[in-house]
Amino acid sequence: MTTGSRPPTMADIAADLGISRQLVSLVLREQPGASAQTRERVLEAVARLDYSPHVGAQVLRRSENRHLGVVFAPAHATETDIVESIYRAAADRGHSVVLSATTSTRTSATAVQELLGYRCAAVILIGSDLGTRALTSLAKRANVPLVAVGAGRRNTSHDVVRSAGDDGIAWCVEHLAELGHRRMAYVNGPAMPPAAVRLAGYLGAMDRLGLPADVLELPGDYTEECGTSAARLLLARADLPTAVLAGNDQAALGLILALARAGVAVPRKVSVTGYDDSRFARLSGVDLTTARQDPQQMGRVAVDAALRRLADPGARPREHIVAPTLQVRSSTAAPRR
Amino acid sequence: MTTGSRPPTMADIAADLGISRQLVSLVLREQPGASAQTRERVLEAVARLDYSPHVGAQVLRRSENRHLGVVFAPAHATETDIVESIYRAAADRGHSVVLSATTSTRTSATAVQELLGYRCAAVILIGSDLGTRALTSLAKRANVPLVAVGAGRRNTSHDVVRSAGDDGIAWCVEHLAELGHRRMAYVNGPAMPPAAVRLAGYLGAMDRLGLPADVLELPGDYTEECGTSAARLLLARADLPTAVLAGNDQAALGLILALARAGVAVPRKVSVTGYDDSRFARLSGVDLTTARQDPQQMGRVAVDAALRRLADPGARPREHIVAPTLQVRSSTAAPRR
DNA sequence: TTGTACGCGTTATCAA
DNA sequence: TTGATAACGCGTACAA
């Protein structure tokens, strides 16, 4: 009998059935070599004794392990959506996920370090605050494939998965142009990692349409507050543009709320667009036209990128660009004539 | 030398320095028995070779382990706040955290099972969909201390950490009463786990004030949509109450947005309160008066509950009630006369 | 179809 | 202050 407090081991299962430990191992790994009857008895005993395999011992002994480390910020809704989809994608491909969170007191580097302690086969970093240089040095030390999701550019050390922010913003511009807008301002927050790509999308689209660019540069983290400041700047002008594009949904939300407080109706007087299609965008009363960054696809692509590097360790890291889709809602309308 | 692809082990560190493996172990565990000079050389080699201890091997060999398993739903903002605070509290007490997410395809039971595979010393379940009965059976099988955060009641199998939802709602009622409100309705969503406690707070407070209770029962998950439906019911009445209390912030938000669309100004015509003090509540333009469920404290209390059970395995599970605090913002005001 | 033997990286107990 | 040695739970050759 066991002491009672120690979880059952394979040896306990084997002893219970009067068979050898390695036979139990065979059955649990679904390998040939055990009779159908033995197989059944083992599974019964596993359930009866509430046996669960010791993951630490497994990774210790196995030649290859099937654990994907994922670094994410619990505070970011967009990232947690991607985490969910990574779970699904990994499960589909027979891998399990080990999470490590970044918080105000835990950096990405700390989180990655922890995952390396678990000997994860690869590490996926979602929306990392680390720049390409820092990630490159991390990738070198880590000695496992690294995949950065959400920002960064093609490089030689790690894979990058990001949405085509330029296309997404360009589609917003085109959507507004089709509605008849010509004076469209863009709220840029350079502090946000993917800001440069999105800004480029705005500038390119405006250029193609032969319209003058009108960029408001705003410092600080790119959240609601940023949109509020942008509204202040716009309201101080002699006349408002007929449409304002924000670089993400949070800024767009701040913009809408601040405009509403100033008595400027959206979309009647000003149309507003965002980027991400976060939960805020879908709130009735906000109902934001935005470029949807599909978290499902981001997660799947990230997992596949990691597995590709695992299958072929010599493969060169790639940049995986996921197409956003335009979500038209009621924050945009034709301009008043 | 190493093969190059295998991460360095303690043996590699020892070989590099020409000392024994167990001396390295002593240094890394901060145990006495190594000279100051050796200690320094070991730490230098650890940094130089990018050594990271094999957590699996540690857990396998150690007598006691210091890993706290945490089950959470990435989709719930409130839960991720608690996750962050658990990281801090656990770190303060020398423990590390292993996360396991629940998604639409992963139940709490699955998540707990995974954590048991890692041989976590205790498991904290945040906002579990499981009822007390299911948790009890899980606790029995798990054979480690279980702590449920967010819902449930005192019981003999696992600790419960929850906010005093009754007090929080009662304070909202009292705050409104002090402003001069007398006709106050409550939006109840029985599907939300802590709904019963919060409703009791409303009923008790109204009773103490000698005011008639006015409860709107709404089915479905307790989100924004629920508030929208509640607004529809209220607007169909001959006259509106002067204040409406919602059981959580999301419902309150739906309520505010729907009232705004119908031309009913908040708080000028109707005051609205919520519960949680989530990110939505703090949005300018929403600026919701609400009972703040302090995630910092919830996390800390949950960790301490787990550690108490660990330190004294015979201890009886407790119910830990965390006091909410009233956050007065601009969604409440004196009623018009 | 089953058992024997070894090792993964670490902790831990000795004695030197 | 250090060096043997055993063990944790499991995977996996190999022999029976």
Model pLDDT, residue B223: 78
Model pLDDT, residue B77: 84
> Please, where are the H alpha helices in chain B?
10-17, 21-28, 36-48, 55-61, 77-92, 108-117, 132-142, 165-179, 195-209, 224-235, 249-261, 279-282, 295-311
Which DSSP string do the residues of A199-225 spell out, in sequence order? HHHHHHHHHHHT----EEE--S-SSHH
The answer to whether A260 contacts B285, with C-beta atoms less than 8 Å apart, is yes
The average pLDDT across B4-17 equals 85
Looking at chain A, the whole-number percentage of residues with pLDDT higher than 90 is 69
Model pLDDT, residue B332: 97
Residue linked to tokens 């005001």: B333
Count of H-run helices and E-run strands, chain A: 13, 12
- Whether the CB-CB separation of A209 and A238 falls below 8 Å is answered with no
State the pTM of this model.
Answer: 0.92
Taking the CA of residue A61 and the C1' sugar atom of nucleotide D3, their distance in angstroms comes to 26
The average pLDDT across A121-140 equals 92
Q: Is the CB of B53 under 7 A from strand C?
A: yes
Q: Which of the two residues, B168 and B5, has the higher pLDDT score? A: B168
Give the best residue of A78, A229, A283, A312 to mutate against chain B (max B CB count within 10 A).
A283
Pairwise CA distance, residues A209 & A287, whole Å: 27
- N-terminal to C-terminal alpha carbon distance within chain B: 85
The string of pLDDT tens digits covering residues A28-79 is 988 888 888 888 999 999 999 999 999 999 999 887 889 999 999 998 888 9
| Residue B237: exposure state from Cβ atoms within 10 A (0-12, 13-18, ≥19) | exposed
Model pLDDT, residue A4: 44
Sheet arrangement for strand A243-246: A215-217, A184-188, A243-246, A271-276, A289-292, A325-327
Pairwise CA distance, residues A161 & A151, whole Å: 7
pLDDT surpasses 60 at B2: no
Q: Where residue B283 falls among pLDDT bands split at 50, 70, 90?
A: confident
Q: Which of the two residues, A304 and A258, has the higher pLDDT score? A: A304
- Covered bases, chain D (protein CB within 7 Å): 1-5, 7-13
Model pLDDT, residue B269: 94
pLDDT surpasses 70 at A1: no
- Whether the CB-CB separation of B318 and B259 falls below 8 Å is answered with no
The string of pLDDT tens digits covering residues B143-163 is 999 999 988 889 999 999 999
Q: Is the CB of A58 under 7 A from strand C?
A: no
- Whether the CB-CB separation of B38 and B67 falls below 8 Å is answered with no
The string of pLDDT tens digits covering residues A222-280 is 778 889 899 999 999 999 999 999 999 989 988 998 898 888 999 999 999 999 998 88
What residue of B is the nearest CA neighbor of A143?
B5
- Whether the CB-CB separation of B2 and B8 falls below 8 Å is answered with yes
- Whether the CB-CB separation of A270 and A243 falls below 8 Å is answered with yes
Q: Locate B2 and state its tokens.
A: 């190493």
Burial per residue of A272-308, b for 16 or more beta-carbon CB atoms within 10 angstroms, e otherwise? bbbbbbbbbbebbbbbbbbbbbbbebbbbbbbbbbbb
Which residues in chain B (254-273) have CB-CB distances under 8 A to chain A?
254, 256-258, 260-261
The string of pLDDT tens digits covering residues B79-122 is 999 999 999 999 999 999 999 999 999 999 999 999 999 999 99
Pairwise CA distance, residues B5 & B24, whole Å: 22
Q: In this complex, is the C-beta atom of A87 within 8 Å of any C-beta atom belonging to chain B?
A: yes
Q: Where residue B3 falls among pLDDT bands split at 50, 70, 90?
A: very low
Which DSSP string do the residues of B10-71 spell out, in sequence order? HHHHHHHHTS-HHHHHHHHTT-S-S-HHHHHHHHHHHHHTT----HHHHHHH-SS--EEEEE
The average pLDDT across B34-61 equals 90
- Indicate the DSSP class of residue B170: H
Q: Determine the length of chain B.
A: 337
When mean pLDDT is compared across A161-170, A298-307, B188-197, B306-315, the lowest value belongs to: B188-197
Which residues in chain A (173-202) have CB-CB distances under 8 A to chain B?
none
What is the distance, to the nearest Å, from the Cα of residue A47 to the centroid of all Cα atoms in its chain? 36
Model pLDDT, residue B113: 94
The average pLDDT across B16-33 equals 87
Taking the CA of residue B15 and the C1' sugar atom of nucleotide D2, their distance in angstroms comes to 14
* A258 contact residues in B (CB cutoff 8 A): 284-285
Q: Are strands B325-327 and B289-292 parallel, antiparallel or unpaired?
A: antiparallel
Model pLDDT, residue B4: 44
Q: In this complex, is the C-beta atom of B57 within 8 Å of any C-beta atom belonging to chain A?
A: yes
Q: What does the mean pLDDT of chain B come to?
A: 92
**A3, A19, B141: which is closest to A11 by C-alpha?**
A19
Model pLDDT, residue B203: 98
* B141 contact residues in A (CB cutoff 8 A): 50
Model pLDDT, residue B22: 84
Model pLDDT, residue B319: 96
Q: C-alpha angle with apex B257: B256 to B261, nearest 5 degrees? A: 115
Pairwise CA distance, residues A228 & A254, whole Å: 5
- Whether the CB-CB separation of B123 and B140 falls below 8 Å is answered with no
**H or E segment to which residue A80 belongs:** helix A77-92
The average pLDDT across A149-169 equals 93
When mean pLDDT is compared across A4-13, A97-106, B313-322, B328-337, the lowest value belongs to: A4-13
- What are the φ/ψ torsions at residue A76 (nearest 5 degrees)? -95, 115
Pairwise CA distance, residues B301 & B288, whole Å: 26
Q: Are strands A271-276 and A243-246 parallel, antiparallel or unpaired?
A: parallel
